[in-house]
Structure 1
Amino acid sequence: MQPVTPKARQTRVRYAMVALVFVNVVINYLDRTNLAVAATALKDDLGLSPVELGYILSAFGWSYAFLQIPGGLIADRYGPRVLYAFCLITWSIATVFQGFARGFFSLFGLRMATGAFEAPSYPINNRIVTSWFPDHERAGAISLYVSGQFIGLAFLTPVLIILRDSVGWQGLFVITGLVGILWGLIWYFFYRDPLDHPGVNEAEIDYIEKGGGLVSGKKRSHAQVSVWQWSNLKQVFSSRTLWGVYIGQFAVNATLWFFLTWFPTYLEKYRGFDLKKFGYLASVPFLAACAGLLLSGFISDALVKRGTSVGVARKTPIIFGMLLSVSIVGANYTNDTGEIIFFMALAFFGSGLALISWVFVSLLSPKNLIGLTGGVFNFMGNLASIVVPIVIGYLAKDGDFKPALLFIGAVSLIGACSYIFIVGKIERVITKAEREANLVAGVPPSAV
């Protein structure tokens, strides 16, 4: 770490680190959505019914969701540099092997493997941002790295379609997997925690710490890594406020997973779009979601800086975004191509507005349980990655996709209501151990 001098300016290494996380997210979602692009081709090659395709599209979610809590614990225990490199390389290897799948069960199993190795990724992302950014910059930082899933998919979806049509769905998996393996090596070479990075100076470290960033690293972190206790899990499941954001995250992810799984099939099979000629149309909703996400993050941070309460500044764009996502139902009432894309883009723009919801993990988590809380939060949210593809498969099995869009709209409305009626005052959850320690130290509850 560079020493500070009276004339030394604060370094900006934190922005380089969030840029690396941004690319991680692009790779992450590339390997989630490649199946959606390949679906129409492999469905015919492997003889899959719409219901079977729904289960295949949900396979990633089974392991990804149910390993979020272990993934959060692992993120609390191991450093992001080594753990993220391991995850990137292993899930990318599983992606390569998907190109050699020969039936329902082999593809289902490999998609589950991809989900398993991706499970710690978002708890790691949250840990990195919590370590590198002060509170008042965190929503913007989160919106920056989460935007990777939309910017990457917006510009790469047409590329994936071209790859599918030129090298087949098998080659699509192989190429995307190899890209992830290469990036895993690059990540390991460049990433460091704040106190281990040679380019950061004391001024930036102090700025992060004074702003509420939980700077971690061997040079200043003397706290012992918390061991697993059932009471910790009970703590993050017993908070009414946390339950409100858990339900809200399921609703946000419901819209997201429609676009990550069934959206290309909806356009091609149920609306008759020729994505070979009009693949750019599939990119429009992703660009809209990215715009919503970036707008939400920076507006929310600006409100906090101007003195608006954290609750209002953080919850307002999420509530408005989920209400806006209900507009997806409008696509049921038109056959015009432009109008269909408009309603899809408007709904996904709303979903983007709501995707700063990860900021609540940083704001509400007990300080020593950020990874665990992030794991539970992502577990609850990613139950949508299991439920949504399967439910849509059943709702659309007779050739009518309208009930599926009604389902997505209804879930979005429930999510908005959760933030309105269940999420209360925004304050960090205090564990029993912390409460007892504060009492011993004479710290009143109101001062915590």
Structure 2
Amino acid sequence: MSIETQNTIQKQKRTNVRWMMVVFLFIVTAINYGDRATLGIAGKSMSGELGFDAAAMGWVMSSFGIAYVIGQLPGGWLLDRFGSKKIYFLSIFFWSVFTLLQGTVHFFIGAWALIMLFTFRFLMGLAEAPSFPGNSRITAAWFPAKERATAVSIFNSAQYFATVIFAPIMGWLTHEYGWQSVFFFMGGIGIIISFFALYMLHNPKDHPLANEAEVQYITDGGGLVDMDQKKADGKNQGPKIGYLGQLLTNRMLLGVYLGQYCINVLTFFFITWFPIYLATERGIDIKTVGFLAAIPAICGFIGGLTGGVFSDFLMRKTNSLSIARKTPIVLGMLFSMSMVFCNYVDSITMIIVFMGMAFFGKGVGALGWAVMADTAPKQISGLAGGLFNMCGNASSIISPVAIGYIVQATGRFEWALVFVAVHAFIAAFSYLFIVGPIKRMELKG
């Protein structure tokens, strides 16, 4: 780049398209988690009408996770092979179609209703697989390191915002129009939003609204602005699967993967069993559950933003990724263990307070995707993100089933809450004693 060109760029007023990108990721992620939470709200009415017991509902809830985990490595490979734009659009479109189809299972008789619900939920999970690795790739491409945790916390906090916005709506829809309407509503919104991805998603160097000053700012700060650029021959080859061995033998990444697994146990408790806990254990009607479930979600939303801003503040002050990322994660996970106090109170107010505290802590500590954007090798960021999400979302298979059997065996939720809190402690332990220094991994060969 010539000196004249550099001077021209320096004089430009920098655009802020990167923040527009993260707002779009926020909207998509809110819909993503709203779709996942549909069974948590509609589950009681659906299971009552269709005759599903708690164990059956646990398996239906886990069907999403089974497919989601299976699809992570293929999804990450597809992102690296074809780029974020195409795969992200197809992901949103098809997961929304399969969400909508879940509202049709009442047309099937007996066991077929359970089989079809499991199938549609499974296909929804498969279609969602590239979503978070895609978020991570887009964030790594569009944000310098000193803004990355804030960006990740914004789109990641959408999981709480989804409950704040969609839980009351879904509770009202279930009460007024039946559980089927929840799936029709959420699926329809997703199909509409999917087409906006085709307009919004571009590489920073190719985006029509981003000027050279912004691209240079991102590049200087460590953003991977050329991640989806085609090679000289016009082709963009997929990553070598052989690189998986390097990812799986890296201590830092193994600790991050374990931490994400444990953090996601909390996530899937809140979006699956928590509304059912309020309705069955505490005897609250489903319409009220939708509104009460939104209160801890608001706390999680605030915690998510707080954790990201705090992490980037520490990054600017210490210039240490390890301090900046680990501190909020460890403190947040320890604070989230406060949910066990719900076992010792009968007041609904106190239960919501303790769950709000736990959700706030979980939000503060949910910086795994920021860590992944900081550490994933540039050449295989999609594959590395897919493996990260596969390990993390193994909890979406195990924890709903485990909680279902715990509740069925004991008839109550006390040990289920202990089960979730122990995972929060393990997450903190992993970041303190296993992860080690946080830095971008370099591939060998």
Number of residue pairs the alignment of both structures matches: 431
> Who is 1:28 aligned against?
32
Do residues 414 (structure 1) and 430 (structure 2) align? no
Instruction: Quote the residue 1:147 is aligned against.
Output: 157
- AA aligned to 1:427 is K
Q: Distance in 1 between matches of 2:419 and 2:232?
A: 49
Residue 324 in structure 1 maps to residue 335 in structure 2? yes
Q: How far did 1:308 drift?
A: 4.4
Aligned to 2:264, the other structure's residue is in SS state: helix
| Deviation per residue, 1:267-293 (Å, 9 max, x gap) | 001111124246321101111111111
Structure 2 counterpart of 1:60: 64
CA distances 1:109-135 after superposition (whole Å, capped 9, x unpaired) = 100000000000001101101111111
Between stretches 183-192 and 243-252, larger displacement belongs to 183-192
Change (3 A) 1:392 1:220: closer
Structure-2 residue corresponding to 1:196: 206
- Counterpart contact for 1:133–1:213, Cα < 8 Å: yes
Q: Which residue of 2 aligns with 1:375?
A: 386
Is the CA contact 2:78–2:238 (under 8 Å) kept in the aligned structure 1?
A: no
C-alpha displacement of 1:427: 1.9
Residue 297 of structure 1: aligned partner: 308
Q: Which moved more, 1:210-219 or 1:423-432?
A: 210-219
| SS of match in other structure, 1:215 | coil
Distance in 1 between residues matched to 2:225 and 2:14, nearest whole Å: 16
Q: Does 1:131 align with 2:137?
A: no
Q: Mark the CA change 1:5 to 1:228 in structure 2 (over 3 Å): closer, same or farther.
A: closer
1:8–1:385 Cα change, 3 Å: same
Q: Does 1:399 align with 2:411?
A: yes
Q: Residues of 2 paired with 1:6 and 1:350: CA distance?
A: 41
* Contact 2:152 2:308 (C-alpha < 8 Å) held by counterparts: yes
Comparing 69-78 and 3-12, the one that deviates more: 3-12
Q: What pairs up with 1:15-164 in 2 under 5 angstroms?
A: 15-101=19-105, 102=108, 103-164=113-174
Residue from 420, 432, 436 that aligns with 2:444 = 432
Is 1:170 matched up with 2:180?
Answer: yes
Encode CA deviations 1:244-267: one digit per residue, 9 max, x unaligned. Answer: 111100111000100110111100
Indicate conservation of the 8 Å contact 2:133/2:382, yes or no.
yes
Secondary structure in 2 matching 1:416 = helix
* Partner SS state of residue 225, structure 2: coil
Structure 2 contact 80–380 (Cα < 8 Å) conserved: yes
Matched, 1:238 2:260: no
TM (normalized to structure 2)? 0.93
2:398 pairs with 1:387: yes
Distance 1:232 1:105, change over 3 A: same
CA contact (8 A) 1:20 1:191 kept: no
The 3 A distance-change label for structure 1 pair 377 and 412 is same
1:204 CA drift (Å): 0.5
Contact map agreement 2:150 2:308 (CA 8 A) in 1? yes
Contact 2:82 2:236 in 1 (8 A): no
* In 2, Cα distance between equivalents of 1:52 and 1:218: 43
- When residues 211 and 274 of structure 1 are mapped into structure 2, their CA distance, relative to the original with a 3 A threshold, is same
1:226: Cα distance to partner? 4.8
Cα shift at 1:350: 1.1
Contact 2:26-2:158 at 8 Å conserved across structures = yes
In the superposition, the TM-score normalised over structure 1's length comes to 0.93
Q: Deviations over 1:214-251 (max 9, x none)?
A: 00267786597454434201011110111111110011
**Separation (CA, whole Å) in 2 of partners of 1:400 and 1:245:** 32
Contact kept, 8 Å, 1:195 with 1:218, in 2: the verdict is: no
Kept in 1, the 8 Å contact 2:160–2:297? The answer is yes
Match of 2:299 among 288, 295, 315: 288
Post-superposition offset of 1:5: 5.6
Assess, with a 3 A threshold, how the Cα gap between structure 1 residues 366 and 7 changes in structure 2: closer, same or farther.
Answer: closer
The answer (yes or no) to whether the contact 1:89–1:184 under 8 Å persists in 2 is: yes
State the one-letter code of the partner of 2:149.
A
**Alignment RMSD (CA, Å):** 1.7
Amino acid at match of 2:253: L
Residue of structure 2 in register with 1:269 after alignment: 280
Task: Report the 3-state secondary structure (helix = DSSP H, G, I; strand = E; otherwise coil) of the residue aligned with 1:432.
Answer: coil
Q: How far apart are the structure 1 equivalents of 2:49 and 2:286?
A: 19
What amino acid is the match of 2:174?
R
- Tell me, yes or no, if structure 1 residue 356 matches structure 2 residue 367: yes
Tell me, yes or no, if the aligned pair for 1:25 and 1:146 is still in contact at 8 Å: yes
Decide whether aligned partners of structure 1 residues 9 and 228 sit closer, same or farther in structure 2, where only a CA change above 3 A counts.
Answer: closer
- Structure 2 segments unaligned to the other structure (5+ residues): none
* Secondary structure in structure 2 of the residue aligned to 1:29: helix
Equivalent in the alignment of 2:435: 423
Q: Aligned to 2:149, what secondary structure does the other structure show?
A: helix
CA distance in 1, matches of 2:247, 2:258: 14
Looking at structure 2, the residues matched to 344 and 129 of structure 1 have their Cα atoms a distance apart, in angstroms, of: 30
Contact 1:226–1:368 (CA under 8 A) maintained in structure 2: no
Moved more, 352-361 or 275-284: 275-284
Superposition deviation, residue 354 in structure 1 = 1.2
Query: Structure 2: which amino acid aligns with 1:43?
Result: S
Deviation at 1:152, TM superposition (A): 2.3
CA distance in 1, matches of 2:370, 2:425: 21
